Amino acid sequence: MKRHSRTAVVALVTALLAAAPVLAGEKLVMQDDFSNDGSGWVNTQVADHNAKGIALYDGSGGYQMTPVDDATYGVMPAPRQAKGADVRVEANLFLYTGVGQGTGGVVCRHADNNHFYAFMVSGGHGYAILKVQGGQATTLTSGRFEGAMPNIADVRIGAQCVGSSLKLTLDGEVVAEADDAALAKGGAGLIVMGEKTAGTSAVFDNFELAEVAN
């Protein structure tokens, strides 16, 4: 997990407070149920303030990402990546945001922590597709979904990034779409954002990454 600017955090919070279908011609790159802590993800067992978070296999078949500083997000690239930038990426997500505001999800076109697309949900049951370019976050689209419990999101979240077409899926259904061609390359992975004092924690499971022929 790596740090980013407060400006981008504010944009992420603002946006969010307001099994995906198989695509033709896709090639599976990676599946991981996190039962094997040697599958390649970073396994940081102690708080890393330089990385702004904890990221670890939780021992019960999940991968946990927890911010340890305020106004920060962490992106964890998958240990294996598609050769191209057109991908489908998804994972089960259990997001707990305590009394505060937190978000989690997946990313594509992640060139670095200042350039990527994020597909996020919040504990307050908001969702958004965001573009982070030059460290600045822009909301491309946002909305709300039904959640069973306050401050908790329990969904299968996915992203489809094919050409300039960006789609966010929740529990296998496309809930948001955007068109943006600003970011043309980069990898896929997981993201969490929150406040240390809010107790934000995201646990991911059943990660899947596939390359899509465009």
Domain range for residue 130?
A: 6-212
Count of structural domains within the chain: 1
Which of the residues in the chain have pLDDT under 70? 1-24, 45-52, 99-100, 195-198, 214
pTM, whole model, 2 decimals?
0.86
**Domain membership flag for residue 86:** yes
Residue 133, in any domain of the structure:
yes
What's the pLDDT at 45?
64
Report the pLDDT value the prediction gives residue 68, as an integer from 0 to 100.
Answer: 74
The pLDDT assigned to 54 comes to 81
The answer to whether position 49 is within a domain reads yes
User: Is 1 inside a domain boundary?
Assistant: no
Q: Where residue 85 sits, what CATH number does that domain have?
A: 2.60.120.560
How much is the pLDDT for 18? 41
Note the pLDDT of residue 17: 41
Q: Which of 54, 32, 41, 59 is nearest to 205 (CA)?
A: 32
Q: What is the pLDDT of residue 23?
A: 52
pLDDT number for residue 190: 96
> What pLDDT sits at residue 57?
93
